[in-house]
Amino acid sequence: MKDLLLTIVQGLVEHPEDVHVDVDAPAEDGSIVYHLHVAESDMGRVIGKQGRIAKAVRTVMRAAATRTGDKVLVEID
């Protein structure tokens, strides 16, 4: 899942070397939180107009997690 998130976001930004993901341990309800960190100048590219790109990334991650039976949350830090 982490690799999928990295692949998606690195294709969007100008500085793919600055993209990294931190993963929290699963919570009591089984959800896993992925914290996405990008360069300050790339923040707008990842969020998109009115948050559309961020919403799309979260949707893809949730769909991929559903196939494995996981619950995933993506936070952009």
Rounded to 5°, angle at Cα 20 from 44 and 57: 50
pLDDT value of position 68: 86
pLDDT in tens, 35-69: 999 999 999 999 999 999 999 999 999 999 999 88
pLDDT value of position 30: 86
pLDDT value of position 2: 92
pLDDT value of position 47: 94
pLDDT in tens, 6-23: 999 999 999 999 999 999
* Domain 2-76, classified CATH 2.40.50.100, yes or no: no
Average pLDDT over the chain, rounded to whole?
Answer: 94
